[in-house]
Amino acid sequence: MKNEFTPEQKQMLAAAAEKLGIPQAKLEESIRNGNVGALLQGNARLAALLSDKKMLEQLMNSPQARALMTALFKKN
């Protein structure tokens, strides 16, 4: 993956960071480094979401999550 995110990806990351209650820069850095698991440390809200299967499925099926996954995993 490239080191920079597109403007569309940045918008999605900003929304995700806001919902998770973490700085956008921290989320971007964790994604770049492949260390998203580090976000769980000290983030009870994210840990609770990931441990609730129904909530996680609802999140992953949202249009925003699908767009983010498409953008992040798009082969250039």
Q: Are 41 and 27 in contact (CB under 8 A)?
A: no
Confidence class for position 3, pLDDT limits 50, 70, 90: low
**In the predicted model, what is the mean pLDDT of residues 51-67?**
84
Specify the pTM: 0.54
CA distance 37 to 29: 12
Q: Which residue has the higher pLDDT, 28 or 72?
A: 28
- pLDDT per residue as tens digits for the range 18-57: 877 788 998 888 888 877 777 767 677 777 877 888 888 8
Q: Are 43 and 22 in contact (CB under 8 A)?
A: yes
> What pLDDT was estimated at residue 2?
55
Phi-psi region of 15 (alpha: psi -120 to 50; beta: other; left: phi over 0): alpha
Residue type, 74: K
Domain extents in the chain: 7-73
